[in-house]
Amino acid sequence: MTPPAFSPVGLRLENIDKRYGRLLALRGVSLTIAAGECVVFAGRNGSGKTTLLRVVSQLVRPSRGRVTFSGATGDEQTTAVRPGFVAHATMVYDELTAEENLLLFARLQEIAQPEKRVETLLHDVGLSERRGSLVRTFSRGMRQRAAIARALLHEPAVLLLDEPATGLDPQGVTWLAEAIRRLRDSGRTILMSLHGESEISQLGTRAIRLDAGSIAADTRTGATFRSILTFADA
């Protein structure tokens, strides 16, 4: 991976509620995440992991509460921070090539020298040789590489990964774990939702279990960390 061009950013969630009609998807979630932390969110289906990440990404407006980002000096950067987001869906166009997709999003984000940035990222995620192929011809693993490249276009200091290993074969998971490890080591703050224990979950420096939209457990250490990932009682 190329050297980072960002300042470390932490974030704070204050009393976040998110309501979809009658369903309360998030209930009073309050969290402080330090710059450079790699947080794993675990929990059963419907526990609120995806909603929480979408609230942090600013795609979903919370019904109550707020999300603030802060730099290493603690200065508040409410709107200037734009996290990179890798979701269940790849968020790239099947009808465009990998290069066209990345150039499209680079231009929309007004990235300086978009061609150069895209070239670098295609190389970093190992898609240089397939740059001219339509994404619809890609395997799931290659699509995920394109999705990660798209999320990293603007050198985000905060990276959100929503079940990034879904549908990947063991080799794909290994590649993804290595990519996330390098991103974590570069100083990015990473929030990822996962199901169960895996190579990827071991990269976490903190584990949080969500249950029915609330935080049920939060730890940085040993046995409790593992129990959170496996949904066992902490």
By the criterion CB under 8 A, which residues form the site for another protein? 54, 57-61, 82, 85, 87-96, 100, 104-105, 107-110, 150
Nearer to another protein, 54 or 206 (CB): 54
Nearer to another protein, 94 or 178 (CB): 94
Q: Crossing angle, helix 140-152 and helix 98-108, to 10 degrees?
A: 20
Question: Which residue has 């990473």 as its token pair?
Answer: 190
Nearest approach, Cβ of residue 81 and another protein (Å): 12
> 107 is written with which tokens?
């231009």
Q: How does DSSP assign 161-204, residue by residue?
A: EESTTTT--HHHHHHHHHHHHHHHHTT-EEEEE-SS--TTGGG-
Nearest approach, Cβ of residue 234 and another protein (Å): 32
Nearer to another protein, 57 or 189 (CB): 57
Nearest approach, Cβ of residue 230 and another protein (Å): 29
Nearest approach, Cβ of residue 63 and another protein (Å): 12
Contact 80, 48 (CB under 8 A): no
Which residues, other chains included, contact 21 with Cβ-Cβ below 8 Å and sequence gap of 6+?
Answer: none
Nearer to another protein, 49 or 150 (CB): 150
